[in-house]
Amino acid sequence: MGLVQDLAGPLAESFGRLGLASQVAVAVAGFLLVSVVLNVFSQLLFQDANEPPLVFHWFPFVGSTITYGMDPPRFFKENKEKHGDCFTFILLGKKTTVYVGPKGNDFILNGKIRDVCAEDIYTVLTTPVFGKDVVYDCPNAKLMEQKKFMKVALTTEAFRSYVPIISDEVTSYFKRTADFKGKSGIVNICPKLAQITIFTASHALQGKEIRDKFDEKLADLYHDLDMGFSPINFMLHWAPLPWNNRRDHAQRTVAKIYMDTIKARRARGETGAQDIMYHLMNSTYKTGNPVPDHEIAHMMIALLMAGQHSSSSTSAWIMLRLASRPDIMEDLYQEQVKNLGADLPPLAYEDLAKLPLNQAIVKETLRLHAPIHSIMRAVKQPMPVPGTKFVIPTSHVLLAAPGVSASDEQYFPEPDLWEPHRWSKESPLAPSIVRNEPDEEEDEKVDYGYGLVSKGAGSPYLPFGAGRHRCIGEQFANVQLQTIVAMTVRLFRFRNVDGSDKVIGTDYASLFSRPLEPANIYWERRDQE
Ligand code: HEM
């Protein structure tokens, strides 16, 4: 006691001699130091044995936000090695429980509706961008009906009509774009694929009238909508900041463009179209009510946004991977010559099934570069983790990361190697899911209200998710990506600018991961040799 008094006196005296600014700085530093010490002690002393291990962190609230945010896959891998498949970390003050591997994917993605909830997490971000009454701004049962409307529009007949639309968009894009004039050149490929993706998706899914508007103002408005998706908006979605004001203006303007288009199409008495907007205009909820125009407009925004980020990032990665492996690009060209004919006739939907390597390119790229690295759910009631003593409390958020098992050597030999040939049964690198492909009957299917989907329980490869929130755009994305790749391969040879086999790093700064930019590649036209 005497020692403390001996020290406290001179300390207080020195503190009093400091200027106000210095006093504030010392007080803040002291406060930080105390909170760090308390935070560290609480982690060392109060680990609850019924909760997954907590990733060590120095600062309360900040927790592991920075290490996670800089490179989520590395963060998952390192902590899986330390703690096993199930662990908790602090993400912006929230206890976030990661459960990786097939069991974790199943636990979270196939979780029961009474246990897990997506809308509680995502609505703050998505509702201002998409608009009211759709996706995460409505009860889950309504979302399931909305997904059904979208999914049933994506028929084989529709896909058959999309392939020529997408091929023509790709060919005409490369013909008219200044960066691809001449015999060869160097280009940052990412923005080019972003444009190709929006032109092809809008034309196929929303009709020519909407596609043409992307040459005018729609592209800028979508860019403003996009800014609403920055991760900071998980906290600041409500704030009257410039980017949020632009987001709100863009949402109103884009929704009006769609609603005017719907009115015009109804007035024309259009019949037999294959785009999703047309299908929604003729869909009815179980209540007997037709889908209101504002909901169709908002679903159009949601669909284009959902598809845009994932498909444009994937197509950019494909082109970058091809530039790093010109031999595979050549294999792709020869596959078309061999299976479709040396004259390379116009591409048809049926042709895609004749090009297994072209299909494998998409699969392998999604294995290593799935654009959605973290899928989150709120916990609605305490969830016991089977086979462990853990119970996840409602104060935690659950996080699934299917990319972890997709790059685990337990399931994929030489997991870091991008090797599309591995998806053939004969390849020595073929993963077990290809070697022992489950029978149709063995593969458990569930209907959440939008048609039968494979449960995916036990699969280490789920780039399109699983369960009630599973992607309904998978087939469209495959058709779109395979067509873009097939058409690009007909026109170009790619390589890295320095001729190496290196591949650029990943940008994790936005919600969807994508290549860092500029991602320059060297292109050379096949037809001008
Ligand atoms: C959901 C991935 C393309 C529409 C999802 C989910 C994933 C995913 C992982 C599940 C999200 C969750 O569980 O929270 C991808 C990838 C794509 C792609 C990798 C392309 C390579 C598309 C396209 C469309 C689309 C082109 C639209 C045509 C949707 C919709 C959902 C969804 C509507 C449902 C959201 C929900 O039920 O909560 N996607 N997607 N996606 N995706 Fe995709």
pLDDT level of residue 39 (50, 70, 90 thresholds)? confident
Residue nearest to atom 25 of ligand 1 (CA): 473
Least confident of 294-298, 450-454, 515-519: 450-454
201 inside domain: yes
Q: What is the DSSP string of 409-448?
A: TTTSSSTTS--GGGGSTT-TT--HHHHTPPPTTTS-EEES
Compute the average pLDDT of residues 268-293. 94
Task: Name which of 101, 96, 139, 148 is nearest 120 in CA terms.
Answer: 139
314 inside domain: yes
**Residues 323 and 500 sit within 8 Å (Cβ to Cβ):** no
pLDDT reported for residue 160? 97
69 inside domain: no
Helix/strand/coil percentages in the chain, nearest 5: 55, 10, 35
pLDDT reported for residue 1? 45
pLDDT level of residue 22 (50, 70, 90 thresholds)? confident
- Give residue-wise pLDDT tens across range 72-82: 999 999 999 99
Task: Name which of 520, 123, 190 is nearest 369 in CA terms.
Answer: 190
Question: Per-residue pLDDT for 442 more than 70?
Answer: no
CATH number at residue 278: 1.10.630.10
71 inside domain: no
263 inside domain: yes
213 inside domain: yes
Domain count, the chain: 1
47 inside domain: no
Question: Per-residue pLDDT for 439 more than 70?
Answer: no
Q: In sequence order, which residues have a C-beta less than 8 Å from that of residue 225 and are 6 or more positions away?
A: 129, 247, 250, 251, 254, 301, 305
Atom of ligand 1 nearest to the CA of 377: 14
The CB of 477 under 6 Å from ligand 1? The reply is: yes
ipTM strictly over 0.90?
yes
378 inside domain: no
Question: Per-residue pLDDT for 172 more than 70?
Answer: yes
The CB of 310 under 6 Å from ligand 1? The reply is: yes
Domain that holds residue 222: 131-368+463-525
- Give residue-wise pLDDT tens across range 461-518: 999 999 999 999 999 999 999 999 999 999 999 999 999 999 999 999 888 899 999 9
CA of 309 to the centre of ligand 1 (A): 10
The CB of 63 under 6 Å from ligand 1? The reply is: no
Residues in the chain: 529
- Give residue-wise pLDDT tens across range 366-409: 999 999 999 999 999 999 999 999 999 999 999 999 999 999 99
Give, for ligand 1, the residue of 361, 471, 475, 482 to mutate: max count of ligand atoms closer than 8 Å to Cβ.
471
Residue 373, CA atoms < 13 Å, CB-side half-sphere: 23
CA of 310 to the centre of ligand 1 (A): 8
- Give residue-wise pLDDT tens across range 202-225: 999 998 989 999 987 888 899 899
- The annotation places the binding site at 471
Question: Per-residue pLDDT for 440 more than 60?
Answer: no
Atom of ligand 1 nearest to the CA of 480: 26
pLDDT reported for residue 13? 75
- The annotation places the binding site for heme at 471
